[in-house]
Amino acid sequence: MDTEQYAVTAEFYDYVVPYQARQDVAFFVEAAQASGGPVLEVGCGTGRVLIPTARAGSAVCGLDLSPYMLDVCERRLAQETIQVQKRVQLDQADMRDFDLGQTFNLITIPFRPFQHLIEVEDQIACLRCIRRHLADDGRFILDLFNPSLPIMAREVTGEEQGDEPEFTMPDGRRVLRRNRIVARDVFKQCHDVELIYYITHLDGRTERFVHAFPMRYLFRYEVEHLLARCGFAVEALYADYDKSPYGSKYPGELIFVARKG
């Protein structure tokens, strides 16, 4: 991912209705509290998970490559109490190559940032970096989507789709977000995805902005092998943030809890 991604869309992130509706925050907050901290959130974005984690009492370091996402996070943090602010440290860094000079009792990577890594060597570099930052008795939570075979069997038409409701920004702009898959590479396990933002200004002027990025999909046993190769042992595997076991629903999520192997 290049650092210019999210340059236009970071300001919309916290208003996207399905993001607001995600049921994962309590899961990560509870894991942070159980760990005793400190926590490292890799790909923390605008602080959707990080800020509730700090509010709940955990010391948390947020790492993200995008200065635009971190800027939103900083502005949100400035609205928090001094105690909450003191629990948070933000670092702009690449998840494949970082050195924070400390270890963490919990490292998380919520809402699929790991799937922005397309090449296996990037995935390995990231996992090795995470392992170096994990306390000996710490836990690592890797949060991915479980690839749906029926969805992947569908032909890629390149058509825009989506049924997300329009949202309104505090300054009155209305934003409708659609999406499309431009291409699927079944050999590289990768989709070229576009998130398309239709922005209507107060004066009626409209803009269309496209956030395009590749997204890798990974299968359950592939991730288990990858984790083992990078020195992790899988402790639990969930299909959802309510901790329902993998296999209890389809496609569900692909949420690994791992420790040092």
Ligand X SMILES: C[S@@+](CC[C@H](N)C(=O)[O-])C[C@H]1O[C@@H](n2cnc3c(N)ncnc32)[C@H](O)[C@@H]1O
- Structural contact between residues 154 and 130, judged by C-beta atoms closer than 8 angstroms: no
Binding-site size for ligand X (CB under 6 A) equals 19
DSSP element (H, E) containing 175: strand 174-185
Q: To the nearest whole angstrom, how small is the minimum distance from the Cβ of residue 69 to ligand X?
A: 4
Residues of span 104-123 touching ligand X by CB under 6 A = 110-113, 116
Q: Residue 1, interface with ligand X (CB under 6 A)?
A: yes
How large is the angle between the packed helices 120-133 and 220-229, nearest 10 degrees? 60
- Closer CB to ligand X, residue 76 or residue 259? 76
Given candidates 39, 44, 129, 237, which one binds ligand X under the rule CB under 6 A? 44
* Residue whose CB is less far from ligand X, 197 or 200: 197
Cα(139)–Cα(258) distance, integer angstroms: 6
Does position 43 bind ligand X by CB under 6 A?
A: yes
Among 49, 107, 129, 257, contact with ligand X (rule: CB under 6 A): 49
Nearest residue to the partner ligand X, using Cβ: 45
**Beta carbon nearer to ligand X, 6 or 232:** 6
Residue 27 touches ligand X, criterion: CB under 6 A: no
Find, among 66, 64, 69, 56, the residue nearest to 28 by Cα: 56
Binding mask 62-91 for ligand X (x = CB under 6 A): --xxx--x----------------------
Q: Is residue 142 classed exposed, middle or buried when 0-12, 13-18 and 19+ CB atoms within 10 A define those classes?
A: buried
Q: Is 216 in the site for ligand X (CB under 6 A)?
A: no
Query: Using the rule CB under 6 A, which residue among 45, 58, 60, 127 binds ligand X?
Result: 45
DSSP character for 170?
T
Asked if 144 interacts with ligand X (CB under 6 A), we say no
* Cβ-based neighbour number of residue 61 at 10 Å: 22
Exposed/middle/buried for residue 79 (C-beta within 10 Å: 0-12, 13-18, 19+):
exposed
Q: Which backbone phi and psi does 65 adopt, to 5 degrees?
A: -80, -25
* CB nearer to ligand X: pick between 24 and 87: 24
Half-sphere CA count of 15, side-chain side, radius 13 A: 19
Measuring CA to CA, which residue among 188, 30, 177, 227 is closest to residue 110?
30
Comparing CB distances to ligand X, the nearer of 42 and 258 is 42
| Region from 61-69, 144-152, 200-208, 252-260 binding ligand X, contact rule CB under 6 A | 61-69
Among 71, 74, 91, 94, binds ligand X (CB under 6 A): 94
H or E element: which one contains 150? helix 149-153
Chain contacts with ligand X (rule: CB under 6 A):
1, 6, 43-45, 48-49, 64-66, 69, 94-96, 110-113, 116
